[in-house]
């Protein structure tokens, strides 16, 4: 039986230099002319799960003690846990694709293919974000990583700031798959004056490993 081809909702007008086939996804590892940043990286192939339960704090997915306060996040062993509200946590496998399986309990839902996920990396990413949302990613009262749930270019999103420091600044964000074309267009347009360019997964992996 032929494997089902998984296709990212993100379309970037750049030339891939290196790709890998992984879990039926074609993953771009590097693009031609990536430059020095800032960067936009498609990480839609990274597994993402939604956990909902009336007693969500009793769960320890992948051995993690979940954040207790909405808006707080935890990045541990490549897994990002985002506390959304009293009963819900989102989980991103940022370490890789396929090396962490969804837990068996019915409280979990795989949302990987129903959503888009991208990363913005580099010292000017928050200047780009200021053009698209009123959310304050540089709030001195918030320590990274932290979660915002709100409009980004008028699209409902989850946005996690992972670092606020200089060239290592960056965030990951996710929204419904259907918004992909519009939100990517808006971000690239807003980032043009800062030299924002697509980058491959290698750039993202190096960044995550540096945090």
Neighbours of 154 (CB within 10 A): 12
pLDDT of res. 99: 55
Interior angle at CA 131, CA 13 and CA 37, nearest 5 = 50
**pLDDT tens figures, 72-120:** 999 999 999 999 999 999 999 998 655 578 888 999 999 999 999 999 9
Token pair belonging to 121? 């990396």
Same domain, 123 and 197: yes
Looking at the domain assignment, is residue 188 inside a domain? yes
Is residue 11 a part of any domain in this protein? no
Structural domain harbouring 75: 48-110
End position of a domain, from candidates 110, 138, 155: 110
Give the pLDDT confidence score for residue 15 in this predicted structure: 96
Both 57 and 40 in one domain: the answer is no
- Those residues with Cβ within 8 angstroms of residue 71's Cβ, 6 or more apart along the chain or in another chain: 83, 146, 147, 148
The model's pLDDT over 139-165, given as tens digits with 9 standing for 90+, comes to 999 999 999 999 999 999 999 999 999
Specify whether 23 is located in the same domain as 93: no
Question: 3-state secondary structure string, 84-153?
Answer: EECCEEEEEECCCCCCCCCCCCCCEEECHHHEEEEEEECCCHHHHHHCCCCCCCCCCCCCCCEEEEEEEC
Whether 139 and 55 map to the same domain: the answer is: no
Residue 2, pLDDT score: 62
């Amino acid at each position: 039986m032929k494997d089902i081809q998984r296709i990212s909702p993100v379309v970037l007008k750049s030339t891939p230099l290196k790709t890998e086939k992984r879990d039926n996804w074609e993953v771009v590892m590097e693009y031609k002319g990536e430059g020095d940043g800032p960067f936009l990286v498609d990480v839609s192939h990274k597994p993402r799960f939604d956990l909902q339960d009336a007693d969500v704090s009793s769960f320890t997915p992948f051995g993690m003690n979940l954040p207790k306060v909405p808006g707080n996040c935890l990045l541990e062993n490549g897994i990002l846990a985002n506390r959304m509200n009293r009963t819900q946590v989102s989980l991103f496998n940022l370490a890789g694709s396929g090396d962490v399986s969804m837990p068996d309990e019915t409280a979990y839902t795989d949302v990987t293919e129903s959503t888009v996920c991208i990363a913005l990396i580099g010292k000017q990413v928050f200047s780009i974000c200021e053009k698209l949302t009123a959310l304050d990613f540089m709030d001195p009262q918030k320590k990274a990583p932290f979660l915002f749930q709100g409009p980004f270019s008028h699209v409902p999103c989850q946005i996690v700031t992972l670092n606020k420091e200089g060239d290592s600044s960056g965030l990951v964000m996710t929204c419904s798959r259907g918004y992909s074309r519009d939100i990517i267009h808006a971000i690239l347009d807003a980032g043009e004056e800062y030299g924002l360019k697509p980058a491959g997964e290698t750039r993202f992996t190096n960044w995550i490993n540096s945090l």
